[in-house]
Amino acid sequence: MAGDYTVNMARKTTPSRARARAIRAKKSRAPAARAHPKRRARRNAAAGPKVWTAQQISEAFHRFAAAEPAPRGELEHVDPYTLLVAVVLSAQATDAGVNKATRPLFAVADTPARMVALGEERLREAIKTIGLYVTKAKNVIALSQQLIEQHHGGVPHDRAALEALPGVGRKTANVVLNTAFGEPTIAVDTHVFRVSNRTGLAPGRTPSEVEVALEARVPDGYKPHAHHWLILHGRYICKAQRPACDRCLISDLCLWPEKSA
């Protein structure tokens, strides 16, 4: 009985030769499975990012310069100190939001001495519409005190001295050195980082890598304004969401595979 049961079950569960051939043929006709998105991304990263040639970089900045010969940042300021404060306040905030707060603030506290006299509590109240205002108020008062004690109330024309101030990092120092003192530094914010990577201008995994690449690749004659051109391009054209490729000056040079023009 046991032998008959085994034979009968084998007959039920083992497909016929014709059925087996049909299954194999169907499998051979099936399209190959697409690679998982993460695996595709790793392969693309391993292949390396596409990068502009020196000629393409010169052409791009030639177009920026022709369209806007003297670009300006949008943070309102009247001197190196008010610029420094505005840039410190602009971290994780919009320039428009910072300007709205600093207009009345700078009317009463436009020097380190006046800012310290205003005090941290009243400064917090003046900038409470800006994100992280508690920490920023503390830093602004502290850096103002340090400017008085160590720099005679002036803003130092020196990277190390700037970065030693509370709340001041490399990006802020680059903005001040470039805008206030005319140094050919290139500050890499979220807009510059996006444009550099998306277009193929100067790809990098971190802001520091992008800054090094920009300093090496941007022609010297364009460096004084490169920071502002790239920020404005990223803010109004090469936006994170729905970039305006149809209005882009450099769409024919751009290597972004998802561009719409």
Residues noted as catalytic: 171, 189
Rounded CA separation 169/8 (Å): 79
CB 261 within 8 A of CB 219: no
- Residue 92 contacts by C-beta under 8 Å, 6 or more apart in sequence? 131, 132
Rounded CA separation 51/57 (Å): 10
Three-state secondary-structure class, residue 60: helix
Q: What are the φ and ψ backbone dihedral angles of 178, each rounded to 5 degrees?
A: -75, -50
Angstrom CA distances, 219 to 5, 58, 60, 62, stand at 85, 7, 11, 10
Q: What are the φ and ψ backbone dihedral angles of 141, each rounded to 5 degrees?
A: -65, -40
Tokens of 68: 């806007």
- Residue 244 contacts by C-beta under 8 Å, 6 or more apart in sequence? 236, 237, 238
Rounded CA separation 87/180 (Å): 12
Q: Which of 51, 50, 110, 41 is nearest to 76 (CA)?
A: 110
